[in-house]
């Protein structure tokens, strides 16, 4: 399954981040950390940015066998 995650600040000039993710492009859910995304081994997560505060959560996902991809050029996303 493919997860698409948008990482954004919770408040202006804040150090905290919130993650909004979707699998179908119509239903969106909010989590506070990448380890809260219900991804299983073999799944893929595509994200737009990786704040230092969330590095441990992403390392945990990699340890569970989840593919994590950082999207540098968002206009290249191919809609299947």
Question: Residue range 25-30: average pLDDT?
Answer: 92
Measured from the Cβ of residue 50, the count of other Cβ atoms closer than 10 Å reads: 16
What is the tens place of the pLDDT at every residue in 54-70?
Answer: 889 999 999 999 999 98
pLDDT for res 75: 56
DSSP character for 26?
A: S
The percent of the chain in helix, strand and coil, each rounded to the nearest 5, is: 20, 30, 45
Please give the share of the chain, as a percent, with pLDDT higher than 70: 85
Residue 7 burial (10 A CB sphere; 0-12, 13-18, 19+): middle
Q: Is the pLDDT of residue 74 over 60?
A: no
Give domain limits for the chain: 2-76
What is the tens place of the pLDDT at every residue in 34-51?
Answer: 989 999 999 999 988 888
Global pTM exceeds 0.95: no
Cβ-contact 17, 7 below 8 angstroms: yes
């Amino acid at each position: 399954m493919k997860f698409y995650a948008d990482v954004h600040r919770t408040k202006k000039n804040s150090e905290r981040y919130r993650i909004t993710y979707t699998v179908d492009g119509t239903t969106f859910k909010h989590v506070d950390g990448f380890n809260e995304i219900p991804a299983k081994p073999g799944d893929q997560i595509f994200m737009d940015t990786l704040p230092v505060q969330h590095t441990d959560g992403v390392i945990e996902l990699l340890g569970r066998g989840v593919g994590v991809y950082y999207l540098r050029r968002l206009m290249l996303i191919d809609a299947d």
